[in-house]
Structure 1
Amino acid sequence: MTAVEKSDLTGRARLREAALELFAERGFEATSTRAVAAAAGLSPALVTRHFGSKEGLRAAVDEYVLDRIGRELAEVDPNAGLMDSLGKVSARLFGADPVLRGYLRHVLLEDSVASADLFGRLLSGARMEVERLSSAYDQQEPDDEWAPFQVLCLILGPLLMERVMQPHHDGPLFAPQALARRSAANQHLLLQGFYGSLGDGTGG
């Protein structure tokens, strides 16, 4: 953490932060409430007191993560280079925070009801962003069904596959320079396509 030291947080917030870090490192199933409490320097009984259960703790972490993503997206200004602004938001969210990347990677790849629910909520956010993009750019409307999935794949793909992509890339995948170049490539793909107006659009 940067803005607030962990020692200054409430017990509930300290447990949530410890859970976020341990879930990011080990995954939900491999993390016990006792380990979370120990990492937070608190009694395990406080997990039950504040969250009711381990599942309740996880729900609180999910809400915290989604709220953070939502607040960052709310800073995107449609009138000030929307695509560039969206890329900078993604860089702030994921590039500077390996814990957030690790958490999302574990959750989204664990194949559970909770992971599907989290993806659904991310998809809803992506759908709203696609609508904002569509209203800001006077171009052909994207596919209403698939455009939100495509946007999420562009953003989450490197995050989910970071460990297998990294050996094939010079330098850290989430270093500022790599993020800037990836953001520019994503903007080009979303706004112009790989090949611009070439072709008849009938390819598979």
Structure 2
Amino acid sequence: MRSHRDPEDLTTRARIRDAAIELIGTRGFEAASLRAIAQTAGVSPALIVHHFGDKNGLRAACDAHVTAMFTNEDGQTEDAAFTIESLRAALGAPDAYGPALDYLVRMLSEDSETADRIFDRILHGTQNVTRAQESAGVIRAQADPDGTALVLTLFGLAPLLLRRQFARALGEERLTPAVAARITLPTLELFTHGLYSDDSLLRAAEDMMRQDTAHPAPTDTGSTS
């Protein structure tokens, strides 16, 4: 995961971008006005237009910056973008990554192409990691590797999307490093040793799915009278 600071962060453009990330993350895109963003950044609304064209251009810059914060250092392509590991690392450093995490939650919660693109990148990164770990013998071979990667992605995103509830359930006001550490061992224990004492439920589900495939339900074509 890349550092939350880089040389550009000293520029006016970066101050505007960071202010937008903070306000959009806490208020949402529609509620975060250019005037409020300008006030937070200590600039005029006209200067935002000068640097970004309009609010959509500013949003695109914010999307790109937040995406880069959770991208592998050597990731120059879509294949190496988001990983669950980078998100977990950020959850352990809320002071440094809090605004970016808030913004990312907003991105993922929207019904938009941006949300779809970000989720696909996270999922694709998890698929790559899963394949590499299976090849290295770290994890067992999976009957449906892509399905497993999807489940792992959901597990990884849950503390991010529900971080307030995770913290509250553990007696904290926010998702602190202590909270992140508290859920680490149960997660690893679940994945390492499993939950059920035998595979009877798995075998029953496999049998049921085979039967459904062999004998699909008839399609209701409606009345022909």
The answer on 1:93 being equivalent to 2:94 is no
In 2, the alpha carbon distance for the partners of 1:114 and 1:174 equals: 25
Moved more, 133-142 or 50-59: 133-142
Match of 1:46 in 2: 47
8 Å Cα contact 1:91-1:176 kept in structure 2: no
What amino acid is aligned across from residue 195 of structure 2 in structure 1? F
Matched, 1:26 2:27: yes
- Classify 1:173/1:189 alpha carbon distance in 2 versus 1 (closer, same or farther; 3 Å): farther
Structure with bigger gyration radius: 2
Secondary structure of the structure 2 residue equivalent to 1:59: helix
AA in 2 matched with 1:177: A
Q: Mean Cα displacement is larger for which, 45-54 or 150-159?
A: 45-54
Is the 1:27–1:107 contact (alpha carbons within 8 Å) kept by the matching residues of 2?
A: no
- What is the CA–CA distance in structure 2 between the aligned matches of 1:174 and 1:40, rounded to whole Å? 27
Q: Which consecutive residues of structure 2, in runs of 5 or more, have no partner in the other structure?
A: 76-83, 206-225
Residues 43-82 of structure 1 mapped to structure 2, 5 A cutoff: 43-71=44-72
Structure number with greater CO (CA < 8 Å, separation at least 6) is: 1
Counterpart for residue 135 of structure 2: 135
Shift of 1:69: 0.9
TM-score by length of 1: 0.77
**Residues 147, 134 of structure 1: CA spacing in aligned structure 2 closer, same or farther, 3 A cutoff?**
same
Provide closer, same or farther for how the CA distance between residues 151 and 138 of structure 1 changes in structure 2, counting only shifts above 3 A.
Answer: closer
Q: Counterpart of 2:195?
A: 194
Residues 135, 34 of structure 1: alpha-carbon distance in 2 compared, 3 angstrom cutoff: farther
* 1:108-127 → structure 2 map (5 Å cutoff): 108-127=108-127
Instruction: Name structure 1 gaps, 5 residues minimum.
Output: 75-85
**1:14 is aligned with what amino acid?**
R
RMSD: 3.0
Give me the TM-score of the superposition, normalised by structure 2: 0.70
Aligned equivalents of 1:2, 1:125: Cα separation in 2? 20
CA 1:11 to 1:203, structure 2 compared with 1: closer, same or farther past 3 Å? farther
Contact 1:94 1:100 in 2 (8 A): no
